[in-house]
Amino acid sequence: MPVYEEIILKNMKLPGYKGEISDYKRQGGYRALSKVLKELTPDQVIEIVKQSGLRGRGGAGFPTGLKWSFIPKDPQVPKYLCCNADESEPGTFKDRQLIERDPHQMIEGLIISSYAIGAHVAYIYTRGEFFHGAVVLEKALAEARDCGCIGKNILGSGYDLEVFVHRGAGAYICGEETALLESIEGKRGMPRFKPPFPATHGLYGKPTVVNNVETLANVPHIILRGAEWYASIGTPKSAGTRIFSVSGHVKRPGNYEVPMGISLRELIYEHAGGILGDRRLKAVIPGGASAAFFTPDHLDVKLDFEEVAKAGSMLGSGGVTVMDETICMVWAAMNLLQFFHHESCGKCTPCREGSFWLHRVLKRIEEGQGQMEDLDLMVNLSNNIGGKTICAFGDAEIAPVLSTLKYFRGEYEDHIRQRRCTLRQLPALAGSPTSA
Amino acid sequence: MLSEKAQAEITEIVKRYPVRRSAILPALWIAQREFGYLSEEAMRAVANLLELNPTQVYEVVTFYTMYSLKPSGRYVLQVCRTLSCAICGAMEIISHLEKRLGIKEGETTPDRLFTLRYVECIAACGNAPAMQINQDYYENLTVQKVDQILNELATVGKSSLASGPFMCP
Ligand SMILES: Cc1cc2nc3c(=O)[nH]c(=O)nc-3n(C[C@H](O)[C@H](O)[C@H](O)COP(=O)(O)O)c2cc1C
Ligand code: SF4
Ligand code: FES
């Protein structure tokens, strides 16, 4: 199995590493912050991160340095940095590990990033379920404050920053950046229409950057080892490593940090150990539930932003869900549409009503009550959702439907002709579809 | 009424934000911790402290799934039913729980010990199937483990099987 140097999962795997500030400092922690405050201007930090090629790990893959450069420079205007620790995309479980095992790494990244954009207040938005994660972060923030890395006049530089944890309360949509801002403002987590973008009108209407946990965790390493070093890892347009969270029917599920651009085959068969029970692979979702399904024909796709998109899906959150030959694709799509229906915030009609109907039609087909017209109906519904909603959730919810229809149409037709699922080994889905 | 301690905590948290309303989620967490759920009285108390209209609090409470408008059992079992868990045995866990506890989704056992809920992905997919009970995660579940967890919770009030700091694999 190819072995690669880990960057952000490295510390936590050292024997005895508990993620306390002393552990982190022993591994060179907070040296990047000290270097930044002593030697670099905010603009220089932005330039280094731009040169490194770092792109957002939250889903969209937007170039991080470029995003920071959109923040107005006027020192009179308050600015905010929000760390997106909402991690709710089904199949993704990397941020939870980064938070619970090495909190100072992401906190150092957050302080440097706040300095770069001129923010004096930063919030870490964790999902409500991360009770323990929030406790770990609070403790780490207190340690950082005691060491002079947070608060007034950080490390004697004259730069001030306060950092607070803001814990959500159960809503997938609060991972969408403008919904996250609404949630911090104390409202229902419903996405805002864009433009204007958070860079100019964000939290409390002020310039704001939202960055994912993994994105921020990379920043101290880029500062210490240089933009060129980082850019040399991965592929030209997708620099660096990426943590893939592999789950489902593999022998060794888990978080794997590998250079961008390795093949899906290598990830599944080498790092994750291959398919459970050596059964046949049937389908893979490469980038969280919002990404289109792949089939075994896609195993040689290179895992970087461009190649995965070119192959018709997206790298998204890096959540890779593997399904073997025993899984019914109609059922899998129905499971995910139950998720999307449950989580739609309800602000726009195509998404709110569309997720309800897509789930209902899938359920009816899965239960053997479908008709051939239903297949066109689902395409029609999807075409009236995609691109017609306030946030990208609309495009996400149609991905499982359209991709399973494209690659596994025969399976849908079988359900309809035989009036039952010929594959299903799993009992019916828990919960009623209307329990949202 | 919220206790003095809770009020003091909320007052402290308000200072983190330029706008009082921002403290609403943390304040509701504190209120829910005090009362076990968010009664009308609790929501009014939060509204008063944050100088909000009670409906502004209510609309937030009803948006987020982890706030509860009615009393729950002492242990709230939140079983993940999303894809990775579902294909790795969550449905067996769910049918076992329903059988053993004699309740369905959303219900509470007559002794008020357990409430059963089904939730969407909780970021534990690599250790599927998984559930959260109150604040703790329980992962790589089997029917045997579930029995042990419930027995321990019912007898000693905590389970040795709760997850520690997360690392997978
Ligand atoms: C429906 C939806 C859910 C999202 N959930 C998350 C999430 O849980 N975590 C996250 O970091 N980004 C999530 N995003 C992406 C954010 O909107 C945003 O792009 C990201 O946090 C930016 O950070 P980055 O540039 O560092 O990736 C989501 C986006 C959408 C449309
Ligand atoms: S697309 Fe869906 S989740 Fe996004 S704003 Fe519209 S209703 Fe809400
Ligand atoms: S699917 Fe169950 S924890 Fe992610």
| Residue of chain A whose Cα is closest to the Cα of B107 | A431
Quote the pLDDT of residue B1: 82
Q: Which among B21, B11, B68, B13 has a CA at the least distance from the CA of B47?
A: B21
CA A388–ligand 2 middle distance (angstroms): 10
Distance from CA of B151 to the nearest CA of A (A): 23
Which positions ≥6 away from A247 have C-beta within 8 Å? A91, A93, A253, A319, A320, A321, A322, B84, B88, B125, B126, B128
Q: Which atom of ligand 2 is nearest to the CA of A394?
A: 1
Q: Phi first, then psi: give them for residue B103, nearest 5 degrees.
A: -130, 165
Which residue of chain A has the CA closest to B62?
A: A188
Measured between alpha carbons, how far is B161 from B153 in angstroms, rounded to an integer?
10
Cβ–Cβ gap B83/A289 under 8 Å: yes
Q: Do B118 and A431 touch (CB under 8 A)?
A: yes
Q: Where are the beta strands (DSSP E) in A268-333?
A: 281-285, 319-324
Q: Test B165 with A100 for CB contact under 8 angstroms.
A: yes
Q: Which of A52, A177, A190, A238 maximizes ligand 1 atoms within 8 Å of its Cβ, making it the mutation to test the pocket?
A: A177
Tens-of-pLDDT digits for all 436 residues of chain A? 889 999 999 999 999 999 999 999 999 999 999 999 999 999 999 999 999 999 999 999 999 999 999 999 999 999 999 999 999 999 999 999 999 999 999 999 999 999 999 999 999 999 999 999 999 999 999 999 999 999 999 999 999 999 999 999 999 999 999 999 999 999 999 999 999 999 999 999 999 999 999 999 999 999 999 999 999 999 999 999 999 999 999 999 999 999 999 999 999 999 999 999 999 999 999 999 999 999 999 999 999 999 999 999 999 999 999 999 999 999 999 999 999 999 999 999 999 999 999 999 999 999 999 999 999 999 999 999 999 999 999 999 999 999 999 999 999 999 999 999 888 655 444 443 333 2
What pLDDT, on a 0 to 100 scale, did the predictor assign at position A422? 81
Selecting from A90, A100, A185 the residue whose C-beta is nearest the C-beta of B84 gives: A90
Cβ-Cβ pairs closer than 8 A, A with B, add up to: 181
End-to-end CA distance of chain A: 44
Paired tokens of B6: 């809770």
DSSP state of B44: H
Give the span between the Cα atoms of B146 and B97, in whole angstroms. 8
DSSP structural state of residue B95:
H
- Cα distance from B105 to chain A (closest Cα, Å)? 7
Which ipTM value was assigned to this complex? 0.98
- Helices A213-225, A103-117: axis angle to 10 degrees equals 80
Contact A236, A245 (CB under 8 A): no
Residues B13-25, mean pLDDT to the nearest whole number: 98
> Which residue's CA is minimally distant from atom 28 of ligand 1?
A176
> Quick check: B11 pLDDT over 80?
yes
Q: What pLDDT does residue A433 have?
A: 36
Q: How far apart are CA A38 and CA A24, in angstroms?
A: 20
Q: For tokens 């726009």, name the residue.
A: A348
CA of A350 to the centre of ligand 2 (A): 8
Minimum-distance CB partner of A188 among B60, B87, B92: B60
Q: Which residues of B touch A185 (CB under 8 A)?
A: 19, 21-22
What is the atom index within ligand 3 of the atom nearest the CA of B90? 2
Per-residue model confidence (pLDDT) at position A1: 84
What's A322's DSSP letter?
Answer: E
Which of A96, A166, A342 is nearest residue B120 as measured by Cβ atoms?
A342
Closest ligand relative to A321 C-alpha: 3
CB-based contact A84:A59 (threshold 8 Å)? no
Select from A88, A184, A432 the Cβ nearest to the Cβ of B121: A88
Under DSSP, the state recorded for A433 is T
* One-character DSSP codes across A148-178: TSSBSSGGGSS--BEEEEEE--S-GGGGSHH
Closest CA–CA distance from residue B3 to any residue of chain A (Å):
22
Q: Is A426 on the interface with B (CB under 8 A)?
A: yes
**Distance from the alpha carbon of residue A270 to the mean position of ligand 2, in angstroms:** 38
Distance (Å, rounded) from C-alpha A374 to C-alpha A354? Answer: 14
Q: How far apart are CA A400 and CA A359, in angstroms?
A: 11
Q: Do A321 and B28 touch (CB under 8 A)?
A: no
CB proximity under 8 Å: B 86-115 to A = 86-88, 90-92, 94-95, 105-106
| Structure confidence by residue, pLDDT tens digits, A28-47 | 999 999 999 999 999 999 99
Lateral strand order in the sheet of B131-133? B114-119, B75-80, B131-133, B136-138
Kindly identify which residue of chain B lies nearest to residue A247, measuring between CA atoms.
B126
Task: Beginning with the edge strand found earlier in the chain, give each strand of the sheet holding A241-248 in spatial order.
Answer: A254-259, A241-248, A319-324, A281-285
CA distance B14 to B20: 6
- CA-nearest residue to A128 within chain B is B66
Q: Look at residue A48 and give its three-state secondary structure.
A: helix
A138 touches chain B (CB under 8 A): no
- Give the Cα separation of A287 and A244 in Å (integer): 9
Say if B162 is an interface residue toward chain A (CB within 8 Å).
no
| Burial zone of B104 (CB within 10 Å; 0-12 exposed, 13-18 middle, 19+ buried) | middle
pLDDT (0 to 100) of residue A432: 38
pLDDT 10s digits, B85-133: 999 999 999 999 999 999 999 999 999 999 999 999 999 999 999 999 9
Rg (CA), chain A: 22
Q: Show the tokens assigned to A139.
A: 């403790």
Its pTM surpasses 0.95: yes
**Considering only CA atoms, which of A1, A2, A7 is closest in space to residue A239?**
A7
**Cα separation, A120 vs A169, whole angstroms:** 26
**Tokens 């093949």 correspond to what residue?**
A263
From the CA of B12, how far away is ligand 2's center (Å)? 34
Q: Determine whether the shortest distance from the Cβ of A397 to ligand 1 is under 6 A.
A: no
Pick the ligand that lies closest to the CA of residue A93: 3
Cβ of residue A178 lying under 6 Å from some atom of ligand 1: no
Which one of A180, A190, A290 would you pick to mutate in the ligand 2 pocket, going by the greatest count of ligand atoms within 8 A of its CB?
A190
Minimal CA separation from B148 to chain A, in Å: 22
